Structure 1
């Protein structure tokens, strides 16, 4: 059965683009959105409709959602994929970058959800899929702001799942592991280590964190999209879909005692190489 699917953050090279393509290939009517329409180039070949959408703008959200409702009458599946990166030590990271990350990943997701869910509630059915992250389970050094934003997405989704259940709306969290995409490169452009940083001696570890998920072992975007699409299109989807290279490690860490997790992350992200220059009394 053809479903109407609205996906945010579909820029070429990302998982949103791959999801739009896969849902369209499964014979669904896909509305692929992003802030820059040029970044959606090629999706029309798969039958996707393209719309300009800024999830930080309520006016933009309301306009696009209403346009879809006016045209086809409803939205069956919303996939909140649009997000913003943030890489750096908690002590250093530019607060404007941090606020943009949280506002986009958390409140932007909530804004779109609220706009779409009210229409779903009138029909008594719908599915909202929020893209979280494995760092929403276990935060890592140098990605603290991004991790807290994704942990908030997980938490928010858990509440929405219960609050929207009476209206026949399912809420699903997708927690990607290491997936091949352009997201890491976007984060790399923002990361910087101030010269007076406490962590200047491990700057290379901080900079490397931006693209840590883009190694040769990362899961191809189309493989990820195929897996997620299959799960989402089931009549009843899992509450959490965790998939991708290294994802199992973060789930295990979530359940391990914190001292074991901390010991591993401390060494993995280079904190044992920090030169502290402690002052002597």
Structure 2
């Protein structure tokens, strides 16, 4: 069944189709649609920023708005919103993507409390690095822009893009084997964090920012960029 989460008409048609097939009941919604975005936070084109948020966050809100009323009427249901371990801590070159996933986490926190009186569960799944096809259709226009101030950081930006699917990423089958039983509990947890490097990223949230900035700067190239840049001329 075709469903474009960025299109109101497509969402309404898909939900109507499912309700017609099930006699007016939906037990579970899994908001999994998402796209990647890498690049310097101040240089990502606004059109790309809008696309990322419309898919990763606003699209999720569209589905929740369409399906939550059905679950409220039935006094049961589970909404699973797929965030990211990057929603806990942003690293260099992933600011826009991380912001979209942090928005998912915050929205889900409010939604969980608001839907609880109606017997509807809300779960955030925050994966680490999971084997998928997310980078296959991803490209950064910034890597072709020779006017960018971050030209000396090209290799670091390319590295963090490839890192999501690098060796050691958790197989999707393993991820599902761990996560699905937790979602299917009568009272599922509010957050499920699993996958390569997910717990380490989550723990980074509790580290003082000055230490976190040092670790991320060393790992993702901003410290090297500072060394490579020429002093400004006036």
Shorter-chain TM-score category? over 0.9
Gaps of 5+ in 2: none
Q: 2: distance between equivalents of 1:79 and 1:217?
A: 25
After TM superposition, the structure 1 = structure 2 runs for residues 118-267 of structure 1, keeping only pairs within 5 Å, are 118-187=69-138, 189-193=139-143, 194-267=145-218
Q: 2: distance between equivalents of 1:197 and 1:267?
A: 21
Gaps of 5+ in 1: 1-50
- Say if 2:232 is the partner of 1:279: yes
Q: Secondary structure at the match of 2:80?
A: strand
Is contact 1:185–1:211 with CA below 8 Å preserved after alignment?
no
- Say if 2:31 is the partner of 1:80: yes
Q: Secondary structure at the match of 1:217?
A: coil
Kindly state the Cα deviation for residue 91 of structure 1 after the two structures are TM-superposed.
2.1
Is contact 2:142–2:148 with CA below 8 Å preserved after alignment?
no
Q: 2: distance between equivalents of 1:191 and 1:220?
A: 29
Partner of residue 19, structure 2: 69
Deviations, residues 31-53 of structure 1 (Å, cap 9, x unaligned): xxxxxxxxxxxxxxxxxxxx100
Query: What TM-score, normalized by structure 2, do the two folds share?
Result: 0.95
How many correspondences in the alignment?
230
Flag the structure with more relative contact order, 1 or 2, with Cα contacts below 8 A and sequence separation at least 6.
2
Kindly state the Cα deviation for residue 280 of structure 1 after the two structures are TM-superposed.
4.3
Find 2:2's aligned residue among 52, 77, 84: 52
Q: Secondary structure at the match of 1:192?
A: helix
Is contact 1:191–1:210 with CA below 8 Å preserved after alignment?
no
Kindly state the Cα deviation for residue 185 of structure 1 after the two structures are TM-superposed.
2.7
Q: Secondary structure at the match of 1:163?
A: helix
RMSD (CA atoms): 1.2
Partner of residue 98, structure 1: 49
Q: 1: distance between equivalents of 2:178 and 2:137?
A: 25
